[in-house]
Amino acid sequence: HGHILHGHAKPRWSTVSVEAATATMADGFSTALTMASLEDIHAAVGTFGIRRITLVSHQGDVSTVEAPA
């Protein structure tokens, strides 16, 4: 199956939830970050109003990356 961002690429994450300054930013980043590496996700937190990103792997593992306080 394809993905909304790329018809042939498999998302790296099953689920990405983003807490950001606006719902529009959270929605856009949650979609885009399904294709991102963990390194890129760590780099994104704290920028563009992103406060927290919760990730669910395809194996069901849950992790959270938070911006520094």
pLDDT (tens digit per residue) in 5-64 = 556 678 899 999 999 999 999 999 999 999 999 999 999 999 999 999 999 999 999 999
pTM of the model: 0.86
Judged against a pLDDT cut of 70, whether residue 1 lies above it is answered with no
pLDDT at 14: 93
Distance (Å, rounded) from C-alpha 11 to C-alpha 33? Answer: 9
**Torsion (CA) 8, 59, 53, 23 in degrees, nearest 10:** 60
Alpha helix (H) ranges present in 1-69?
A: 23-32, 38-44
